[in-house]
Structure 1
Amino acid sequence: MERIAVIGGLGTLSGGDLFFKLLKNQQVLKNQLNYHFIFEQQPYSQINSPLYQEEDIKSRKYYTYNVCKNFESKGVTSVLLPCFACHSFLDELQKEISIPIVNIFEALSNYVSSKVGKGAKIGILTSDYVKVNQLLNSYFKDYDLLFPTQQEQLMEAIYGEQGIKNGYFDGLALEYVYEACVELNNLGCDIILPGITELSLIVEQLWKRGIPIVDVNQIYADYALMNKNSSPKKAFKLGILGGIGPSATVDFMNKIIKNTPAKNDQEHIKMVVEQNPQIPDRTANLVYHETDPTIAMFSTCKRLEAEGADAIAIPCNTAHAFVNSIQEHLNTPIINMLTTTAEYIKEHYGGKIKVGLLATSGTIQSEVYHDVLKAFGLNIIVPDEKHQGYVMESIYGKDGVKAGYTDGNCRKNILKSADYVINKGAQVVILGCTELPLIFPDESDIIKGSQKTPLIDPTLILARKIVSMTT
């Protein structure tokens, strides 16, 4: 079913006219069960203002954005925007809206090319704003565009106290428009093209007087029904479940930025972050059966999904013990940091390598890393109880990395545990808690004499994976 929406309120009467012309289209009347039409008009403070100031356009931007976002929640498949001036910011609006907005200029260009040949004279009746900004020129560059000399009089016919926008379809308003059309006719125009949607309200009266003016609202409605608009291509947006922990989230974002081959701000990846440090501790749940963090994590992911995230990243190793159950109830994929890390190790170091894991006791006991690494045929080595205590102290201790320390006791403790797994045969060491890489900001190896053991930073690998997905 086509769910087509019309943004009303930018020209109350012309919006209603467009909606009516959608309804009476023969294609719709014959297949009424295939169409769902929505018309929405919100209060718009500058509804009666002529387009003289930039503030008028800004207010239209806010208005159209808000209405379009409301349409998104209703499953609308295309939007009609019956305001020529608003199409001046269509590109910037479309980048933020997932529903295709039907371009009124494209509709008219398609119609004109089917009626007159290149080089034909086209009379244009449009607002000062559209005229000055030459919005029509790019769509009708193969034609000779002519404008009436009495532009002020035309504006009075539209916006005046007794103008068409206020419901006056005859009298002085009609005569002013007729005079402009006669002038264009005398200049040899093959067709008269309104660039103001309100003029559709009086075209029948002008036709009776022999004026070759087109009904832009009818053309726009027919074009929208005949042409299937594909969803706009939008920039990839990454959702980040943050706050677990806070510093690791910032570190992860920084790694994405540093690894993105961007030449300017606009080439970087869009990110939406839900920084939620109140999510219950994952290790406390896995080890001591304290508060389950699943619902808090799921709720955060759903908010990221609602924000339009194309994928979700969770820069917390222990949290991945809960990922599979959460993913079942999400439409947006979570990029699994553990799987990405195992793929990286196998690709760069081979499938027979022994992998040391320094992680929280929750990660160790859940065996979430064990399962992933074994699936890739990799052997895993973890610290004994004593050296696991050093790992936990370096993370959660009073001088630990979660308390803001990256040197001193937290570094000494983690190096003791690293030495242990290396002495047990580990050929690479995973820093399996996202805070641990903060202790090694400039190091990619642990060097002992002539022995160099690579440190594997899962957040860095995940960041590079995400960048590769978008470039």
Structure 2
Amino acid sequence: MKTKSKPSRESSLVHKLGIVGGLGSLAGGDLFYKLVKSRAVLEDQGRYHFLFEQHPFKDVLMPLDRGASMTSRKFYVFQVCQTFEASGVSAIVLPCFASHTFREEIQEEIGIPVLDMMAALRRHIDHVVEPGAVLGILASDYVRHAGLFERYFGSDFKLVYPGADEQSGLMEAMYGVNGIKDGYLDGVPLECVYQACLSLQEQGATMVLPGMTELSLVCGDLQRRGITVLDINEIYAGFATQQKGQSNRPPFKLGIVGGVGPAATVDFMGKVVAHTPAGRDQEHIKMVVEQNPQIPDRTANLLNDETDPTMAMYATCKRLESAGANAIAIPCNTAHAFVERIQAHLRVPIVNMLAETVEAIVQRYGAGKTVGLLATSGTIKSQVYHEAARRAGLHIIAPGVDYQALVMDAIYGSLGIKAGFTEGLCRDQLLIAAEHLCELGADVLILGCTELPLVLQHSEAFMIKGHQVALIDPTTILAMKCIQLAREHSGERSNLHLG
């Protein structure tokens, strides 16, 4: 008695395909039918799930002539692909040759594979035709002049296209009134396509390649007339069911909780740009920023039990997460008192600026150092720096009461940094507090509020009234860590160092 073998783990995994419909309704429906009846699906029907999305597309009836605009088509395809990505599909099937002229642009913005129909066609050709053969192409004027087939076949095959009259007839047969796109699959439209095929044969074509997905609707009729033409929907369906749908890896995207405070956010972004090793715009890091100055004041909450900023911070982080951020940066020291309670409810990591700062100090100056902390009273009260330093073997000291009052006035006062000042009284107040910490034995000072680096910059040897001290800017350290994460994401080795 024969027993059925258990399916392998790989075959039992669900393969969920999203099909972009609406770019050619009949062709999209034909592809869906051929997917459902493909051998792979019939043999393992429980594994394959299909989502077919078709929405009104205002340019669907626009002939794809040489100068056709792709803008609306690009936006439509991207929006449908975004919907599929949110639905958890494994891969996207895009049955439209014109859309494959910009498939790479869509793929850059989508985290799942948009399956390459031209790669499917090329793989099939490599199995049935010897290199050097003459291939005839039936494509719209737009696809023809975009050079799509030349990109995939031009180096190994000779490509020929219908003559001018036959090409004009092909376009009319496809896009004209009562054409193939409208469901008229015989009569004059079929004859025009047949004449275009004959034109290709006269030029020596041994096989006809489709550059219009609607040609699958009349492929059988052409084959019965002796034309060796391929059914692209059949080929694409087979290709789609054989792909594993592994996740694509789009470029790293950094999410930034901005507005805490506003100028510090801009300063942080500038440091990311300045420290990124890039020779052109495209080598810089993608950033998505929510500049939200309405997040309640962190220090006011910690000192005076005013409005809790946790919910506003969490909501901002969730929006960054939904925008595709791979990691989140919060360029605000005091806000890190709330990070631990937020992180547990996020899928992406918040880069902990305080932990990175303490680690950088240990690596550069060694453990056992006495480190002075210039920060808001909220940060000091929360003890977040003290706890991180204690774990790393560092000793943190904060200014005395009167000196701490100077730091707070330098940040929040009417002539302070949050009011837009970076010179004058606020700088003098910070230098007095810094000198005080040096006299208490600190030889490293943390600029522990992201407004402070707007006044005092990162320095290995800063002189304060006879004291030489290292000024550590956590914003710069956070920027460097984010750059490192981006480079690791792309597989590059990171050799970044603080200057």
1:142 counterpart letter in structure 2: D
Residue 40 (1) aligns with residue 53 (2): yes
d(CA) in 2 for partners of 1:73, 1:229:
15
Alignment of 1:115-264 (within 5 A): 115-140=128-153, 141-149=155-163, 150-264=166-280
- Give, in angstroms, the shift of residue 55 of structure 1: 5.1
Structure 1 residues 53 and 126: CA distance shift in structure 2, 3 A? closer
Amino acid at match of 2:476: L
Q: Cα 1:54–1:178, aligned 2, differ >3 Å: closer, same or farther? A: closer
- Note if contact 2:92-2:113 (Cα within 8 Å) is conserved in structure 1: yes
**Partner of 2:41 in structure 1?**
28
CA separation in 1, counterparts of 2:484 and 2:19? Answer: 39
Q: Which residue number corresponds to residue 420 of structure 1?
A: 436
Show the counterpart of 1:97: 110
Shift of 1:182: 2.7
Measure, in 1, the Cα distance between the counterparts of 2:109 and 2:448: 36
**Structure 2 residue 451 is matched with structure 1 residue 438:** no
Match of 1:76 among 70, 85, 89: 89
Counterpart residue type for residue 159 of structure 2: L
Deviations 1:344-375 (A, max 9, x none): 10011111211000111111111000000111
Code of the aligned partner of 1:210: G
How many angstroms apart in 2 are the aligned matches of 1:53 and 1:188?
A: 25
Identity level (%): 52
Is the 1:159–1:165 Cα contact (8 Å) retained in structure 2?
yes
Counterpart in the other structure of 1:14:
27
Hey, what's the Cα distance between the residues in 1 that align with 2:478 and 2:228?
62
Corresponding residue to 1:333 among 335, 338, 349: 349
Q: 1:291 to 1:449 in 2, by over 3 A?
A: closer
- Contact 1:49/1:56 (<8 A) preserved: no
Query: C-alpha displacement at 1:458, in angstroms?
Result: 0.3
- Equivalences for residues 267-286 of structure 1 within 5 A: 267-286=283-302
Match of 2:470 in 1: 454
* 1:310 aligns with one of 323, 326, 332: 326
Match of residue 380 from structure 1:
396
Query: Which amino acid in the other structure matches residue 440 of structure 2?
Result: K
Distance change in 2, residues 1:268/1:54 (3 Å): farther
Contact 1:238 1:313 in 2 (8 A): yes
**CA distance in structure 1 between the partners assigned to 2:438 and 2:68 by the alignment:** 65
1:467 to 453, 469, 483: 483
What residue number does 2:375 align with? 359
String of CA shifts for 1:171-214, please: whole Å, max 9, x gaps: 00011111222333344432211110000001111222222111
In 2, Cα distance between the equivalents of 1:54 and 1:303?
Answer: 39
Give CA deviations for 1:30-85 in whole Å, capped at 9, x if unaligned: 22221211111111111111112655312211111111111121112111111111
Distance in 1 between residues matched to 2:348 and 2:458, nearest whole Å: 34
How far does residue 231 in structure 1 lie from its aligned partner after superposition?
2.7
Deviation at 1:451, TM superposition (A): 2.8
Separation in 1 of the partners of 2:287 and 2:81? 21
SS at match of 1:137: helix
Gap runs ≥5 in structure 2: 1-13, 488-499
Task: Answer yes or no: is 1:64 the counterpart of 2:77.
Answer: yes
TM-score (norm 1): 0.97
Q: Distance in 1 between matches of 2:206 and 2:226?
A: 13
Counterpart in 1 of 2:3? none
- Larger mean CA deviation between 396-405 and 272-281 belongs to 396-405
Q: Which moved more, 1:120-129 or 1:273-282?
A: 120-129
Give the deviation of 1:148 after TM superposition.
1.8
Distance 2:471 2:202 in 1: 81
Contact 1:244/1:279 (8 A) holds in 2 = yes
For 2:357 and 2:297, how far apart are their aligned partners in 1?
Answer: 23
The residue identity in structure 2 corresponding to 1:35 is Y
Distance 1:299 1:459 in 2: 23
Residues 5, 76 of structure 1: 8 Å contact kept = yes
Change beyond 3 A, Cα 1:247–1:444: farther
The 3-state SS of whatever aligns with 2:52 is: strand
Matched residue SS, 2:46: helix
Q: Among 315, 333, 340, which residue is 1:324 paired with?
A: 340
Instruction: Give TM-score scaled by structure 2 length.
Output: 0.92
SS at match of 1:56: coil
Paired positions, count: 471
Residues 338 and 369, structure 1, Cα contact 8 Å, conserved in 2: yes
CA RMSD of aligned residues (A): 1.4
**CA distance in structure 2 between the aligned counterparts of 1:343 and 1:170, rounded to whole angstroms:** 74
Report the equivalent of 2:421.
405
CA offsets per residue over residues 218-274 of structure 1, 9 Å max, x none?
100100111224333321110000100001001111111111122121111111100
